[in-house]
């Protein structure tokens, strides 16, 4: 596939890859509003700015690494339909999208899909500065060409017969709705895209999103189901390595995986995790400069799937050799009786050296590490249920 | 006609009351959207269905269809119906 040689130029979720160090902010989206935490230069003290949109459900809050100033927030409330807001002054003022993501009108079909909420936001390639992608619940892919002000259904997948079957119904999805997430833009090629669906698998496009195809070889599914069927696949979080865009990592419902392109076969690197911890979880983040390094935050996937820290003893696990080995990192975390749940988009890495890591719990605690996971401290508590955490960097002006 | 706006939508109208016109509920909501851009999509989805937690009352009676006829003297009340935390 044709590619330009600019591996640090684009952003996808938290893996923003800014070349120059700026001031770190951590964007926290919760079930009841959004907060922006500003770090000092040493990332030791944090100043909360918020709540923004108090009482609104914020699924994702993302800073555009291409201009380091545009924020998009995916917003809804319990009573009202979904929308998006945009700010270019770090949230002092917000402008609502004139046309939020919405499926095409289908006349005379009482079951026709409507967007319940926008779940995921990804800025497009650096060469397309006004373009953004959005993933929704139920699963849909949308695109904006005007900086998030208006959105249109994008690509063939929203209406393709196979994709509609693979997406399943609301009953087939996650408890708060099936989702399209982990929209990834290859930093070398704006036409090379990935996304994931829970459920529905991982998919790739090499023609700018005109068409997509499943990318599922090697991935396990729940026992008794046919792994050839995308509908049975449940990727929780997929990340591309900014330092080697041919490498992807994935935290899946059925384990932790690595994929080295051009291979199409995922390798289950989670089998190298300690057996008593397992390799189930939701978030995964990658090192901005070292493609052999990635972090997961395991959850208990046994019996009825508590989805809490195994044994009530939370920890992050890091690999520094591409998943051959994993090391526990729990310095500063509670030693016992901490039954945390961390959602798939609620863990993030910044671009600093050493890398700062951040995660937020559903019990409203925000944790940070300034030394690549060796030591952790809680930098905010008593927040609402945390849905998403994104580290970003502001450029000094 | 006079439309009572619920608190969740007053960020659009800046008021508990709005004046709008239309001979059907659909036309009334379209007029509201012309005045307060974006307010209609928060109440009505892309398939032209009133959203689950939105209730509309006309002269005290609940209305469920966007095609409901309206008169110039009607009183329209929009309510947010949500329970739980």
Q: How is residue B16 annotated by DSSP? A: S
Nearest residue of B to residue A104 by CA position?
Answer: B46
B47 and chain A in contact, CB less than 8 A: yes
> What are A's interface residues with B at a Cβ cutoff of 8 A?
77-81, 83, 96-98, 100, 102-106, 109, 112-115
User: Considering chain B, what is the average pLDDT of its residues?
Assistant: 95
ipTM field: 0.91
By the 8 A CB rule, do B76 and B58 touch?
Answer: yes
Structure tokens at A137: 């619940």
- Within 8 A of B47 by CB-CB distance, chain A residues are 103, 105-106, 109, 112-114
User: Mutate which of B13, B40, B42 to disrupt the A interface (most A C-beta within 10 Å)?
Assistant: B42
Q: Do A113 and B47 touch (CB under 8 A)?
A: yes
> Quick check: B53 and A79 CB within 8 A?
yes
Report the residue from A78, A79, A102 with minimal CB separation from B46. Answer: A102
Question: According to the model, what pLDDT value does residue A355 have?
Answer: 98
pLDDT tens per residue across span A162-206? 999 999 877 776 778 999 999 999 999 999 999 999 999 999 999
Q: Residue B2, SS3?
A: strand
Confidence of residue A22 (pLDDT cuts 50, 70, 90): confident
Backbone phi, psi, residue A345, to 5°:
-105, 20
CB contact set of B11 (below 8 Å; sequence gap of 6+): none
- Please list, in sequence order, all residues whose beta carbon lies within 8 angstroms of the beta carbon of residue A223, skipping any fewer than 6 positions away: none
Q: What is the residue extent of each domain of chain A?
A: 56-103+114-394
Put simply, the answer to whether B80 touches A103 (Cβ < 8 Å) is no
Q: What is the pLDDT of residue A167?
A: 94
DSSP state of B53: T
Q: Grade residue A135 by pLDDT with cuts at 50, 70 and 90.
A: very high
Give the model's pLDDT for residue A169.
78
> Which tokens belong to B85?
């935390």
Cα A344–chain centre separation: 6
Residues of chain B short of pLDDT 50, as ranges, are none
Q: What is the mean pLDDT of chain A?
A: 93
Contact A38, A210 (CB under 8 A): no
Interface test with B, best of A33, A81, A101, A170 (most B CBs within 10 A): A81
Is B7 at the interface with chain A, CB within 8 A? Answer: no
Paired tokens of A324: 């051959």
Q: Which residue carries 């080295």 as its tokens?
A: A260
Phi, psi of B7 (to 5 degrees): -60, -35
pTM, whole model, 2 decimals? 0.93
What's the confidence (pLDDT) of residue B58? 97
Q: What is the mean pLDDT of residues A329-355?
A: 98
Closest by Cα among A81, A63, A36 to B12 = A81
pLDDT at residue A396 in the model: 67
Is A56-103+114-394 assigned to CATH 3.40.50.300? no
**Residue A239: which of A354, A392, A345 has the closest Cα?**
A345
| Mean per-residue pLDDT, A322-349 | 98
Residue B62's CB is within 10 A of a number of other CB atoms, namely: 10
pLDDT at A38: 97
- CATH fold, domain B2-80, is Ubiquitin-like (UB roll) (3.10.20)
pLDDT at A256 over 90: yes
The answer to whether the CB atoms of A80 and B42 lie below 8 A apart is yes
Among B47, B53, B81, whose Cβ lies nearest the Cβ of A106?
B47
In this prediction, residues A250-267 reach a mean pLDDT of: 98
pLDDT at B85: 73
Confidence category of residue A73, pLDDT binned at 50, 70, 90: very high
Token pair 């982990």 is at which residue?
A182
- Residue in chain B closest to A97 (alpha carbons) equals B38
Backbone angles phi, psi at A367, to 5 degrees: -115, 150
Please tell me the predicted confidence (pLDDT) of residue A279: 97
A287-298: per-residue pLDDT in tens? 999 999 999 999
Phi and psi (nearest 5°) for A309?
-55, 130
Query: What SS3 string covers chain A?
Result: CCCCCCCCCCCECCECCCCCCCEEEEEEEECCEEEEEEECCCCCCEEEEEEECCCCEEEEEEECCCCCCCEEEEEECCCCCCEEEEECCCCCCCEECCECCCCCCCCCCCCCCCCCEEEEEEECCCCCCCCEEEEEECCEEEEECCCCCECEECCCCCCCHHHHHHHCCHHHCCCCCCEEEEEEECCCCCCCEEEEEECCEEEEECCCCCCCEECCCCCCCCCCCCCCCHHHCCEEEEEEECCEEEEEEEEECCEEEEEECCCCCCEEHHHHCCCCCCCCEEEEEECCCCCCCEEEEECCCCCCCCCCCHHHCCCEEEECCCCCCCEEECECCCCCCCCCCCCCECEEECCCCCCCEEEECCCCCEEEECCCCCECEEEECCCCCEEEEEEEEECCC
Contacts of B38 in chain A (CB under 8 A): 83, 96-98, 100
Are the beta carbons of B47 and A98 separated by less than 8 Å?
Answer: no
**What's the rounded mean pLDDT across residues A370-386?**
98
Number of other CB atoms surrounding residue A200 within 10 Å:
29
Angle in degrees, CA B55, B75, B66, rounded to 5: 45
Query: Residue A3 above 50 pLDDT?
Result: no
Residue among A78, A83, A114 minimizing CB distance to B53: A78
Instruction: Quote the pLDDT of residue A21.
Output: 64
Q: What is the pLDDT of residue B83?
A: 66
Q: How far apart are CA A299 and CA A277, in angstroms?
A: 8
Question: Residue A397 has what pLDDT?
Answer: 58
The span from the CA of A387 to the CA of A235, in Å, is 17
For β-strands A193-198 and A179-185, DSSP reports them as antiparallel
For the stretch A301-334, pLDDT in tens is: 998 999 999 999 999 999 999 999 999 999 999 9
């Amino acid at each position: 596939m044709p590619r330009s040689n600019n591996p640090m130029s684009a952003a996808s979720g938290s893996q923003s890859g800014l070349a120059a160090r700026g001031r770190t902010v951590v964007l926290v989206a919760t079930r009841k509003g959004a907060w922006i935490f500003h770090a000092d230069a040493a990332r030791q003290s944090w100043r909360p700015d918020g709540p923004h949109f108090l009482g609104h459900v914020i699924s994702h809050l993302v800073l555009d690494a291409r201009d380091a100033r545009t924020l998009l927030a995916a917003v809804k409330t319990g009573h009202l339909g979904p929308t998006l807001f945009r700010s270019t002054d770090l949230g002092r003022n917000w402008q609502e999208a004139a046309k939020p993501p919405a499926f095409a009108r289908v006349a005379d079909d009482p079951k026709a899909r409507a967007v319940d909420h926008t779940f995921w936001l990804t800025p497009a390639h650096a060469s397309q500065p006004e373009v953004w992608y959005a993933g929704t619940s139920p699963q849909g892919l949308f695109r904006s060409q005007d900086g998030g002000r208006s959105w249109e259904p994008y690509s063939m997948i929203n209406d393709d017969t196979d994709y509609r079957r693979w997406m399943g119904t609301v009953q087939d999805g996650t408890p708060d709705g099936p989702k399209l997430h982990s929209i990834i833009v290859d930093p070398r090629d704006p036409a090379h895209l990935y996304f994931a669906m829970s459920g529905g698998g991982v998919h790739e496009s090499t023609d700018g999103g005109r068409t997509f195809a499943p990318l599922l070889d090697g991935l396990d599914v729940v026992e008794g189901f046919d792994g050839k069927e995308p509908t049975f696949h449940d990727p929780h979080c997929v990340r591309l390595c900014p330092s080697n865009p041919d490498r992807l990592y994935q935290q899946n419902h059925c384990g932790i995986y690595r994929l080295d392109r051009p291979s199409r076969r995922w390798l289950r690197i989670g089998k190298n995790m300690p057996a008593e911890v397992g390799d189930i979880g939701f978030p995964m983040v990658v090192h901005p400069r070292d493609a052999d390094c990635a972090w997961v935050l395991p959850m208990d996937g046994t019996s009825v799937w508590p989805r809490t820290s195994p044994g009530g003893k939370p920890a992050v696990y890091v690999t520094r050799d591409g998943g051959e080995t994993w090391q526990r990192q729990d310095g500063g975390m509670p030693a016992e009786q901490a039954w945390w749940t961390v959602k798939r988009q609620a863990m993030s890495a910044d671009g600093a050296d050493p890398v700062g890591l951040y995660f937020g719990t559903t019990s409203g605690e925000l944790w940070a590490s300034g030394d690549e996971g060796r030591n952790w401290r809680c930098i905010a508590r008593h927040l609402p249920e945390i849905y998403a955490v994104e580290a970003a960097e502001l450029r000094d002006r | 006609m006079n439309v009572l706006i619920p608190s969740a939508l007053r960020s659009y109208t800046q008021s508990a009351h709005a004046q709008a016109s239309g001979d059907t509920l659909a036309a009334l909501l379209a007029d509201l959207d012309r005045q307060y851009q974006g307010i209609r999509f928060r109440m009505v989805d892309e398939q032209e269905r009133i959203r689950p937690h939105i209730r509309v009352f006309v002269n005290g009676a609940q209305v469920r269809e966007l095609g409901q006829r309206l008169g110039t003297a009607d009183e329209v009340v929009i309510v947010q119906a949500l329970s739980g935390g």
